[in-house]
Amino acid sequence: MLFQLIYRSKAKPNLTDKDLEDILETARNFNSSQNITGCLLYHKGLFLQLLEGDFNAVNQLYNGIRKDTRHSEVITLHMQEAPDRIYNDWSMAFKELKENLATLEKNGAASFKELPSQNNTSPLAQELFNLMSKEVMND
């Protein structure tokens, strides 16, 4: 069963580019070995991450992520079965959102703070990752 999980968290105040590189390297290595794919977005000190893979593998990873000291205030926004992967070819895609945020701001998602979760689904978060998948593939 393919499972999808999206969470939001607050980066530690002094997060460096090296910290981001370490996070991505660790994620890509682990995810490749567990057949997990996904995307990590970073903007204004906040993370938004989508994970997709086997239910047990994603939950095991998420339990570890929740304990990581490089972020806090981890909030689950979305978790459910998914028909298909969004990031088939990416063990962990990454995008730091710095510019061209007018569309995101219009939808209330630029700060990742207004991503409501009802019944364990977040359509806005899913839409954001769908948009980012196209942009990541073109990078």
- Distance, CA of 60 to CA of 47 (rounded, Å): 19
- 7: domain CATH number is 3.30.70.100
pLDDT tens, position by position, 100-128: 555 555 555 555 554 555 555 556 566 66
Total tally of structural domains belonging to the chain = 1
pLDDT value of position 137: 47
User: What is the extent of the structural domain holding 19?
Assistant: 2-138
Tell me the mean pLDDT in the region 23-41.
90
Q: Contact at 8 Å (CB) between 5 and 78?
A: yes
Q: Does 133 have pLDDT greater than 70?
A: no
- Radius of gyration of the chain from its Cα atoms, rounded to whole angstroms: 14
The structure tokens listed for 45 are 């000190």
- Distance, CA of 49 to CA of 96 (rounded, Å): 12
Q: Which of helix, strand or coil describes residue 77?
A: strand
Q: What is the pTM of this model?
A: 0.76
pLDDT tens, position by position, 34-86: 999 998 888 878 888 899 999 999 999 999 999 999 999 998 888 889 889 98
pLDDT value of position 2: 93
- Distance, CA of 41 to CA of 95 (rounded, Å): 5
Tell me the mean pLDDT in the region 20-27.
90
Q: Between 130 and 80, where is the model more confident?
A: 80
